[in-house]
Amino acid sequence: MRVHKLTIAAMALAAGLSLTACQNDDAGTDQGAAPPAASTASSSTGGSGSTGSDQQGGTDSEGKTPAGTGGSDGTGATGGTDENGKAAKCRTDELEITAIDATVGGDDRGTVAVDLKNGGGRDCSLAGHAGVDLKTDSGTLSAERTGEPAPLVVLKDGERTTFGITYPINESGGSGVRITGLVVTPPDETKSVTLDWPGGATLPVTDGSGTPVQVGPLGSAGQGG
């Protein structure tokens, strides 16, 4: 009987040790599973922390932060251009160019006023002198600049500016050089517009020592500017 009781006690002890071992194994497994879970959470947090906008929760996920940031940059760049008053140069096709006789009685020189009106639907700028050529029966005659300063002119849609062309009046009594047309090229442009010449029909024939045909700066229409 004593031997039998010892055997039963030994079996009970072995069963208890076995159960304890199983519990330790389960606990080890759980502890081993915890770090991956913690690692996953850390990785997710780190991803959010990579951009400042993501850390602000729903702001980025709703698209508000990126849109606000982009809009601010875009507005700043556009606003800077407008605040500086910058405008693209006027193209020939955007300008309505006309010419009229502006000679005042008693003047010793003739004057033609050339008008440039902005019809492009946007603000545009002009700087410098326009190119002016007179077509004659003796060839093309290019006007000389008066040498006056030529300020930048910004035209809103529908606004205009004017410059003057002065030329010697033919009082020689001879037939002179007949003018057949006026060619105007806006500043910084290569495309020209050909107009009827509204001034005196002829220029005096000279040996080159006479008063030349001159073009004034934008914003002027009087004697040589």
Q: What is the pLDDT of residues 83-94, one digit of tens each?
A: 455 799 999 999
Q: What is the DSSP letter of 56?
A: G
Give the residue with greater pLDDT, 164 vs 3: 164
DSSP letter for 193, please: E
127: part of which helix (H) or strand (E)?
A: none
* Residue-level pLDDT at 207: 59
Q: What is the pLDDT of residues 100-151, one digit of tens each?
A: 999 998 888 999 999 999 999 999 999 989 999 999 999 999 999 998 998 8
Task: Please state which of the ranges 51-60, 85-94, 187-196, 197-206 shows the lowest mean pLDDT.
Answer: 51-60
- Whole-number Å distance between alpha carbons of 20 and 115: 105
Q: What is the pLDDT of residues 151-172, one digit of tens each?
A: 899 999 999 999 999 999 998 8
Q: What residue has token string 């760049």?
A: 77
- Phi, psi torsion values for 129, nearest 5 degrees: -105, 145
User: Could you give phi then psi for residue 187, rounded to 5 degrees?
Assistant: -55, 140
Q: Specify which residues 118 forms β-bridges with.
A: 95
